[in-house]
């Protein structure tokens, strides 16, 4: 294990054998947050099985290979895992210096979506097709760069010891930084991602210790914005329909309300233990659309029942619970803000995704972290896990 | 590890982090709770919905079984027709609710647009026929008589006719072999209603949306057997309807065939002769009402005497049962059920009830014998009989002196029975019953099966009534209020009757009992009841449940389930009395009131027994009854407002016998001409492929009209004077009614004339 010194906190520790270094009390491996790591891995592998179950019969999308999506999901998980290790290896503090470049890159990518390079999937013009069957959803990465960028700005003076809380100017700058990519994503339009970003901004502001006025002001602006968006007709028809169907699921069972209705039937029919893996009639019969991505939770609901679907919620709960601990225990505000942003992101996206399949949230095209099929999302959430680990690892050991 | 930060973490941030944590956990808790609600609490409902989601049923309707006559001639079967149907759900999706499409369709079919639209609308309380009373989700047939050309036009331009289909379908056909009709016995079909589907859902014979259900007659009585079981193939399908699972198939089971005891040829004869008798009655002048007889309804039953099986059953007015096939038109429906229709749907053989008149006298005779009067005793057949100033006349006020009960039946002497009934009435306690009153005349009627259904295998048979003391009491209770309100002393005739009824309608008056003894008054019987009774007299005393169905044979002919004759009682008389009555009824033919109708009948070879009856109905012309039997068959005919028993029905009944036995008007018997000299015993053979080897039928050629002169010559004499006068009408009735007006109840409305 070369470069172990880099992982040492102090860098001045005595030379030790690789194994003893790995098992040592202050070793990186011992200091990693294992519950988060194992939960994320478990979610990813459950996702692989569920994605496989949902796609093995869908010959029209799996190119005749029933393992097509399974292999790709596992590949994505592997890449995501490597990205996590890379993030931990670099450390969030190192990344802190690279934030302006990363931010600029991500904004550039989302701008590319608006050019002819962009592609539309499910009504959202949010993709860049890379060729060879690969495509990128840059809005996933913007979520990270917004968190990092805002954290950098907000924490700078506080961590330097100048101020107890970020001042109004800093907050304004941070909001401006978030607003730019949000506007662009709004233009795509990818309303789901914008909603996630709003929540991220809210979480970040809360954790930064910014004045209550900003928090409530942002909430007010959000509400006002929602009304304006509705009134000005910025939304596409399909988005309005989704809300209408949410308000009244019986509206048109074979049209707009169809997705949510079928999703609920799938989950409801699972019962306590489910119909058994690969034995769900709703899944096998492909009654639920987008079942490997946005509606992957319905596969768990139908085939694994309350036990399996509950386990997913539980594992997400472990990740979020540990993330909250990390946010509270880290010494510097930068780490706290980054962790809080990630918590807001994961929590809202999970709640929205599962909530829409359960019929308590309107439909929005958001993937379920770790579980849904999709490279960009998978990479982004694993990078986020890496950031959480990094914050925990680089926190001085408590006595 | 500890939660206390080492650095200068401000409490504000710390508190906010805790808030975030609580918020996050409560969100997850919400998801968990909702998950529990959907999967555990509502799980079963969703599981049901899921299975409904992915299972598609393809229904193949079963072919309805045929109804065959005794020799296998189909009287109801199926034929393939081109049926044009409209899907209501498709039409309603259009902007104008399919108006344009239906108008265009009407053009192709050569129908009026309004007629087409009427057929597609749904029935409700305010919508008159035609309308659709089946399921709104099922294609509604518009016509089943589309030509191949029309069907092609519709199919080739399917984009012009969305929601319209033209498919060959098996539809019911009432073939009417040999010119027979059998409408009321067969009944008809109409689409199943939503309520029936719901009701039969959990039984072992659930309905399908496309089912036709028997609504009356045999089609209803044997609906389950005839209907068979529709084939259902269940496919597991995906969201696009592609089959993904293995199919489970319950193959369709064709309905069984019903072999009846009806003989289509005899049925045709019975229908023809009934109609002919009614036509002739309308040419007869009724002295009482000073107009021709109306003969507005009639019925005839031909029954096997020794089994109770119905060989023919006709009801008039009648209709073409094919009118119902493929949905009935507005015009036809009005014709069948409208106020001016005279209700041809009624099967008057089992649903028409009237006072029996003198054909009731066999029951009165039995009652008298049971009460202790010697059959061969001497009873005064005086010209009249008076009860406390009220005079009851014998028919034509003719006296025969002291005669026995047999002779009283032969000449249909009323006063003999008046006297006996009056004595019994007094013995029972008069107006108010004794404690141990025997009520012989009423008890015997019940024992004969009157006042109760015979149990024939046809729906909605009526029971008639025996106006005994209990009935009088009940009837008075039910009607007292309206009688008392309307009744007025010294008012009009009807008001006066109501007044009397109000005061003492619950009492059995002497007049009631006396009238009843000769089958007049409040007593009501059906032709099938009388046929059952006369069959019993013929067969030695067994009252059979009349049956039309003889056997249920599976579509492949392999399973034969015979319907055995079943008795519901024995006549309440001894063998000796039965023989006496049998002899008297033969006497009616040889020297009594029906002799003039049976001149030249080969009585030595085919002993004929008969009783005539003429019942008076208040405000209407007399009802004609004629009950007859041989050792093989019993025939009862009745014609409402048709005149006298032997007068109106005599020749018709004789002609039915002639056809059955092959008897010529001059009395010679030709067995080759005989349609059914003995009842059909064997069942027709149904091959395993469902085909039936049925004999061909020659249409009925009624015998050349025999004039009364030739009949009289053949019989070797003129009809007896009594009978001849009976023919000319009941001119005495009015007089008698007048004499009883002062004290009679409503019962005196109907008076005896024969």
Percent of chain A beyond pLDDT 90? Answer: 46
Contact B21 A264 (CB under 8 A): no
Using the Cβ of B41 and the Cβ atoms of chain A, whether some distance falls under 8 Å is answered with no
pLDDT at A29: 79
Per-residue pLDDT, averaged over A25-42, amounts to 87
- Chain A residues in contact with B19 (beta carbon < 8 A): 206
If one compares A233 and A398, the residue with the highest pLDDT of the two is A233
pLDDT category, B389, cuts 50, 70, 90? confident
Percent of chain B beyond pLDDT 70? Answer: 87
Q: CA-nearest residue of chain B to A306?
A: B39
pLDDT at B137: 66
How far A209 CA lies from chain B's nearest CA (Å)? 5
How far B85 CA lies from chain A's nearest CA (Å)? 26
Count of C-beta atoms within a 10 Å radius of residue B618: 14
- Chain A residues in contact with B238 (beta carbon < 8 A): 284-287
Using the Cβ of B246 and the Cβ atoms of chain A, whether some distance falls under 8 Å is answered with no
Q: What is the pLDDT of residues B686-737, one digit of tens each?
A: 888 878 888 888 888 887 655 444 444 444 333 443 333 333 333 333 333 3
Contact B448, B523 (CB under 8 A): no
Contact B233, B57 (CB under 8 A): yes
Distances (CA, A) of B57 to B49, B51, B563, B681: 15, 12, 36, 44
Contact A358 B47 (CB under 8 A): no
Highest mean pLDDT among B191-195, B411-415, B632-636 belongs to B632-636
What is the 3-state composition of chain B as percent helix, strand, coil, each rounded to the nearest 5? Answer: 40, 20, 45
Q: What is the pLDDT of residues B621-672, one digit of tens each?
A: 999 999 999 999 999 999 999 988 788 888 999 999 999 999 998 889 998 8
How far A29 CA lies from chain B's nearest CA (Å)? 17
Tell whether the model's pLDDT for residue A354 goes beyond 80.
yes
Tell whether the model's pLDDT for residue A394 goes beyond 90.
no
pLDDT at B751: 39
How far B59 CA lies from chain A's nearest CA (Å)? 22
Using the Cβ of A284 and the Cβ atoms of chain B, whether some distance falls under 8 Å is answered with yes
CA distance B500 to B114: 55
The CA-based angle A332-A336-A338, given to 5 degrees, is 120
Using the Cβ of B89 and the Cβ atoms of chain A, whether some distance falls under 8 Å is answered with no
Contact B244 A316 (CB under 8 A): no
Per-residue pLDDT, averaged over B75-93, amounts to 83
pLDDT at B708: 46
Chain B residues 692-721 with a CB less than 8 Å from chain A: none
Q: What is the pLDDT of residues B243-270, one digit of tens each?
A: 666 666 777 788 899 999 999 999 999 9
Domains in chain B with CATH codes: 56-260 (3.90.1310.10)
- Chain A residues in contact with B28 (beta carbon < 8 A): 313, 316-317, 320, 347, 350-351
Tell whether the model's pLDDT for residue A119 goes beyond 60.
yes
Contact A285 B238 (CB under 8 A): yes
pLDDT at B133: 73
Q: Which helix (H) or strand (E) holds B214?
A: strand B212-214
Contact A209 B2 (CB under 8 A): no
If one compares B167 and B8, the residue with the highest pLDDT of the two is B167
**H-only helix segments in B325-410:** 330-337, 348-351, 361-370, 405-410
Contact B34 A165 (CB under 8 A): no
- Chain B residues in contact with A287 (beta carbon < 8 A): 53-54, 238-239
Chain A residues 87-146 with a CB less than 8 Å from chain B: none
pLDDT at A320: 96
pLDDT category, B58, cuts 50, 70, 90? low
- What is the pTM assigned to this prediction? 0.64
A363: left (phi over 0), alpha (psi -120 to 50) or beta: beta
Outline where DSSP puts E strands in A189-347: none
pLDDT at B717: 39
What number is the ipTM of this complex?
0.90
Lowest-confidence pick of A19-28, A348-357, B126-135, B265-274: A19-28
- Of the candidates B355, B354, B346, B544, the one whose C-alpha atom is nearest the C-alpha of residue B461 is B346
Contact A272 B40 (CB under 8 A): yes
pLDDT at A3: 43
pLDDT category, B57, cuts 50, 70, 90? low
Per-residue pLDDT, averaged over B460-469, amounts to 93
Using the Cβ of B22 and the Cβ atoms of chain A, whether some distance falls under 8 Å is answered with no
Contact B98, B170 (CB under 8 A): no
Contact A351 B31 (CB under 8 A): yes
pLDDT at B208: 73
Give the residue extent of every domain in chain A. 32-393
Lowest-confidence pick of B87-101, B467-481, B649-663, B678-692: B87-101
Highest mean pLDDT among A132-141, A187-196, A267-276, B3-12 belongs to A267-276
Q: What is the pLDDT of residues B734-746, one digit of tens each?
A: 333 333 333 333 3
CA distance A2 to B289: 131
- A-B C-beta contacts closer than 8 Å: 167
Contact B248, B654 (CB under 8 A): no
Using the Cβ of A309 and the Cβ atoms of chain B, whether some distance falls under 8 Å is answered with yes
Per-residue pLDDT, averaged over A27-40, amounts to 89
Q: Which of B31, B41, B239 to mutate to test the interface with A (most CBs of A within 10 A)?
A: B31
CA distance A67 to A56: 7
pLDDT at B340: 83
Using the Cβ of B58 and the Cβ atoms of chain A, whether some distance falls under 8 Å is answered with no
Percent of chain A beyond pLDDT 70? Answer: 85
Lowest-confidence pick of B83-92, B134-143, B283-292, B320-329: B134-143
CA distance B495 to B477: 18
pLDDT at B698: 82
**B270-B271-B272-B273 Cα dihedral, nearest 10 degrees:** 50
Using the Cβ of B5 and the Cβ atoms of chain A, whether some distance falls under 8 Å is answered with yes
How far A254 CA lies from chain B's nearest CA (Å)? 11
Q: What is the pLDDT of residues A184-217, one digit of tens each?
A: 988 887 888 998 999 999 999 999 988 888 889 8
Using the Cβ of B27 and the Cβ atoms of chain A, whether some distance falls under 8 Å is answered with yes
How far B202 CA lies from chain A's nearest CA (Å)? 24
Mean pLDDT, chain B, integer: 84
Tell whether the model's pLDDT for residue B567 goes beyond 80.
yes
Contact A343 B24 (CB under 8 A): yes
Using the Cβ of B18 and the Cβ atoms of chain A, whether some distance falls under 8 Å is answered with yes
CA distance A390 to A388: 5
Using the Cβ of A258 and the Cβ atoms of chain B, whether some distance falls under 8 Å is answered with no
- Of the candidates A348, A332, A373, the one whose C-alpha atom is nearest the C-alpha of residue A203 is A348
Contact A264 B38 (CB under 8 A): yes
Q: CA-nearest residue of chain B to A262?
A: B50
Chain A residues 171-210 with a CB less than 8 Å from chain B: 203, 206-209
């Amino acid at each position: 294990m070369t470069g172990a010194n880099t992982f040492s906190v102090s860098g001045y520790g005595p030379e030790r054998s690789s194994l003893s270094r790995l098992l040592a009390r202050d070793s990186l491996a011992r200091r990693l947050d294992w519950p988060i790591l194992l939960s994320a891995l478990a979610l990813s592998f459950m996702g692989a099985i569920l994605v496989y179950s949902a796609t093995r019969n869908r010959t029209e999308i799996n190119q005749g290979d029933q393992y097509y999506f399974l292999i790709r999901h596992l590949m994505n998980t592997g890449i995501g895992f490597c990205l996590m290790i890379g993030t931990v290896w670099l450390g969030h503090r190192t990344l802190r210096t690279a934030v302006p470049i990363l931010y600029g890159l991500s904004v550039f990518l989302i701008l590319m979506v608006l050019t002819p390079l962009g592609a539309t999937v499910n009504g959202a013009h949010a993709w860049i097709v890379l060729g060879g069957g690969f495509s990128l959803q840059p809005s996933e990465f913007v979520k990270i760069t917004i968190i990092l960028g805002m954290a950098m700005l907000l924490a700078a003076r506080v961590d330097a010891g100048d101020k107890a809380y970020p001042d109004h100017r800093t907050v304004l700058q941070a909001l401006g930084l978030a607003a730019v990519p949000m506007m662009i994503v709004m233009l795509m339009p990818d309303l789901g991602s914008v909603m996630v970003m709003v929540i991220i901004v809210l979480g970040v502001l809360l954790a930064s210790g910014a004045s209550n006025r900003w928090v409530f002001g942002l909430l007010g602006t959000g509400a006002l914005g929602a009304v304006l968006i509705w009134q000005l007709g910025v939304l596409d028809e399909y988005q309005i329909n989704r809300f209408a169907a949410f308000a009244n699921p019986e509206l048109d069972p074979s049209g707009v309300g169809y997705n949510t209705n079928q999703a609920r039937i799938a989950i409801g029919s699972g019962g306590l233990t489910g119909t058994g893996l690969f034995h769900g009639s709703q899944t096998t019969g492909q009654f639920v659309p987008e079942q490997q991505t946005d509606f992957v939770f319905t596969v768990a609901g139908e085939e694994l029942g309350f036990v399996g679907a509950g386990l997913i919620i539980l594992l997400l709960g472990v990740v979020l619970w540990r993330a909250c601990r990390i946010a509270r225990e880290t010494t510097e505000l930068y780490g706290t803000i980054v962790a809080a942003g990630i918590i807001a992101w994961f929590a809202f996206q999970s709640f929205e995704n599962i909530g829409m399949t359960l019929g308590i949230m309107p439909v929005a095209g958001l993937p379920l972290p770790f579980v849904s099929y999709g490279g960009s999302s998978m990479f982004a959430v694993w990078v986020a896990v890496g950031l959480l680990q990094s914050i925990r690892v680089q926190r001085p050991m408590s006595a | 590890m500890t939660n206390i930060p080492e650095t200068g973490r401000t409490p504000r941030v710390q508190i906010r982090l805790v808030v975030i944590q609580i918020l996050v956990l409560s969100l997850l808790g919400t998801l968990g709770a909702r998950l529990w609600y959907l999967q555990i609490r509502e799980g079963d409902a969703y599981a049901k919905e899921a299975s409904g989601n992915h299972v598609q049923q393809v229904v193949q309707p079963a072919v309805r079984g045929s109804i065959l006559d005794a020799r296998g001639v189909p009287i109801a079967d199926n034929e393939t027709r081109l049926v044009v149907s409209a899907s209501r759900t498709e039409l309603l999706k259009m902007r104008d609710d399919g108006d344009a499409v239906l108008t265009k369709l009407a053009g192709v079919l050569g129908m009026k647009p309004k007629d087409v639209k009427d057929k597609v609308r749904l029935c409700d309380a305010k919508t008159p026929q035609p309308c659709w009373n089946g399921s709104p989700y099922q294609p509604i047939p518009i016509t089943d008589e589309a030509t191949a050309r029309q069907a092609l036009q519709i199919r080739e331009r399917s984009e012009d006719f969305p929601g319209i289909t033209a498919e060959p379908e098996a539809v019911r056909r009432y073939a009417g072999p040999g010119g027979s009709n059998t409408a009321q016995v067969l009944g008809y079909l109409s689409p199943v209603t939503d309520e029936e589907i719901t009701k039969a859902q959990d039984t072992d014979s659930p309905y399908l949306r496309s089912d036709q259900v028997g609504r009356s007659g045999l089609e209803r009585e044997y609906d389950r057997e005839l209907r068979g079981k529709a084939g259902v193939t269940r496919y597991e399908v995906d969201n696009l309807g592609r089959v993904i699972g293995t199919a489970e198939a319950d193959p369709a089971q064709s309905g069984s065939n019903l072999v009846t005891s009806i003989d289509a040829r005899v049925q045709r004869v019975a229908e023809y002769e009934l109609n002919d008798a009614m036509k002739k009655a309308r040419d007869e002048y009724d002295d009482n009402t000073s107009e021709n007889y109306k003969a507005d309804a009639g019925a005839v039953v031909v029954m096997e005497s020794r089994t109770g099986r119905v060989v023919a059953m006709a009801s008039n007015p009648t209709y073409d049962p094919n009118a119902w096939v493929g949905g009935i038109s507005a015009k036809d429906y009005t014709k069948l059920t409208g106020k001016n229709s005279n209700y041809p749907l009624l099967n008057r053989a089992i649903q028409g009830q009237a006072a029996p008149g003198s054909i009731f006298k066999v029951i009165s005779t039995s009652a008298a014998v049971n009460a202790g009067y010697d059959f061969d005793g001497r009873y005064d057949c005086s010209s009249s009989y008076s009860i406390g100033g009220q005079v009851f006349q014998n028919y034509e006020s003719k006296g025969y002196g002291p005669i026995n009960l047999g002779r009283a039946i032969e000449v249909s002497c009323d006063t003999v029975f008046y006297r006996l009934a009056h004595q019994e009435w007094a013995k029972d306690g008069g107006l108010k019953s004794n404690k141990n009153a025997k009520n012989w005349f009423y008890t015997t009627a019940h024992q004969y099966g009157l006042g109760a259904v015979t149990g024939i295998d046809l729906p909605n048979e009526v029971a008639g009534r025996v106006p005994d003391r209990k009935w009088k009491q009940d009837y008075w209770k039910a009607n007292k209020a309206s009688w008392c309100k309307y009744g007025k002393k010294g008012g009009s005739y009807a008001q006066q009757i109501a007044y009397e009824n109000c005061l003492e309608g619950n009492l059995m008056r002497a007049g009631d009992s006396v009238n009843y003894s000769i089958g007049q008054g409040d007593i009501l019987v059906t032709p099938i009841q009388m046929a059952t009774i006369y069959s019993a007299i013929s067969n030695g005393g067994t009252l059979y449940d009349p049956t039309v169905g003889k056997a249920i044979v599976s579509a492949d002919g392999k399973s034969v389930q015979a319907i055995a004759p079943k008795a519901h009682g024995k006549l309440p008389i001894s063998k000796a009395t039965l023989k006496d009555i049998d002899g008297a009824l033969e006497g009616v033919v040889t020297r009594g009131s029906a002799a003039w109708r049976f001149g030249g009948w080969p009585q030595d070879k085919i002993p004929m027994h008969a009783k005539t009856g003429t019942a008076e109905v208040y405000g209407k012309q007399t009802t004609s009854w004629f009950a007859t039997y041989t050792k093989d068959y019993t025939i009862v005919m009745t014609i409402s407002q048709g005149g006298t028993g032997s007068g109106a029905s005599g020749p018709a009944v004789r002609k039915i016998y002639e056809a059955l036995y092959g008897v010529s008007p001059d009395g010679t018997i030709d067995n080759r001409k005989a349609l059914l000299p003995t009842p059909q015993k064997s069942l027709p053979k149904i091959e395993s492929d469902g085909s039936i080897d049925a004999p061909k039928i020659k249409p009925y050629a009624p015998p050349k009209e025999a004039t009364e002169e030739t009949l009289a010559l053949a019989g070797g004499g003129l009809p007896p004077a009594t009978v001849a006068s009976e023919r000319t009408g009941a001119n005495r009735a009015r007089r008698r009614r007048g004499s009883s007006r002062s004290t009679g109840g409503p019962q005196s409305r109907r008076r005896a004339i024969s």
